[in-house]
Chains A and B, each alone.
Chain A
Amino acid sequence: MALPPFERLYEETSAEIFAFLARRLGRARAEDAFQETFLRALRGYGRLEHGRHLRAWLYTIAGRVVIDAARAEARRPPLAAAEPAAADARPAYAELEHLASALPPTERAAVVLRYGYDLDYAEIGAALGSSAEAARQAASSGVRRLRGKELPV
């Protein structure tokens, strides 16, 4: 599946991403987060290899932006701001999100996108603003942590 023009993805998702960000951050802070989400998406878009899972990919970026905004402003633990929005996503996402919710954010995103959405590591790397190799390491250390229950307190 070829990558669609970014305009198409933006038209199809901008309203729901804005609503998602407004729920998490409040209407006022959602505006900056909205710009940041789609600018990050544009930076990664050219590196994607196909057009599958684009909504999941975008939500992961939006989730990262929420975490960053929460870190920057509220000094709340990042995981509190990153609670899953099950209603926004497919069931697989909600289920995995629950299991993985205690993982550090990067590992959580990598695990959810790898095993919940079957994205490849290049895409996950693009979504997380890192490399394919870093994404692979994040996913595998997330899985090890879940298996060994070495969850951070």
Chain B
Amino acid sequence: MTVPADLDARFRARAAEEGLLDVATAAHETPIGTLLLAATAAGLCTVAFDPEPEATEERLARRFGARVLRSPRPLDPVRRQLDDYFEGRRRSFDVDLDLGTVTGEFGRLVLAELARVPYGSTTTYGSLAARTGRPRAARAVGTVMNRNPLPIVLPCHRVVGSTGSLVGYAGGLERKERLLRLEGVAL
């Protein structure tokens, strides 16, 4: 006997409403593929390309607590904002963030600077490093970008090499290029 779909949906919604979840997750379709989104009570904690839900849920459970459940409603605001972004109607995201998966002061500093890089522009790893007061740490900035838990929302796609080459992207260079073109950056 399978659980009726509406009952399943009601349970998942109610679990979130009653504040019983450590992490709510949802899959979201975008023009650059399915994203796995996850949020704690504090805010959005994961945006993942090419979702591997089971591995991601395990990781989230270890970090934030085992009450991890697919429950789309808490993620509705960011899902709407992503839709608007991909349709060119939104230039920045207005949601609370939980950077609990980011280890180290430097990583948090770099991500805070990254959040200030404007829509439709690019910066370099070196200049982001300089803005955190460590001009020689371009490579370390690259590592932070690679591990960015909230791609798109924290725009690591806007960070390129000093020669203008795209260099790398955790979601693949093709996606980085599409995001920059969407924002009107000439490549």
Contact = CB atoms under 8 A, between A and B. Distances in A.
Interface in A3-37: 3-8, 10, 14-15, 18-19, 22, 31, 34-35
A42 B57 contact: no
Contact of B21 (A4, A19, A31, A42): A42
A43 interface: yes
Contact of A15 (B3, B11, B53, B60): B3
A2 B4 CA distance: 30
A19 B7 CA distance: 13
Interface string B1-32: 11110011011001100101110010000000
Interface string B49-82: 0000110011011100111111000000000000
> For chain B, which range describes its interface: under 10, 10 to 19, 20 to 34, or 35 or more residues?
20 to 34
Contacts of B21: 6, 42
B50 to A, nearest CB: 19
A93 interface: no
> For chain A, which range describes its interface: under 10, 10 to 19, 20 to 34, or 35 or more residues?
20 to 34
Main secondary structure of the interface of A (DSSP, over half): helix
A38 B20 CA distance: 11
B11 A38 contact: yes
B66 A34 contact: no
A31 B7 contact: yes
Contact of A3 (B2, B4, B7, B66): B66
B1 A4 contact: no
A5 B68 contact: yes
Contacts of A7: 25, 53, 57, 68-70
Contacts of A10: 69
Interface of B: 1-4, 7-8, 10-11, 14-15, 18, 20-22, 25, 53-54, 57-58, 60-62, 65-70
Given A8-B54, A35-B14, A46-B66, 5 more contacts: A6-B69, A7-B69, A18-B2, A38-B11, A45-B66
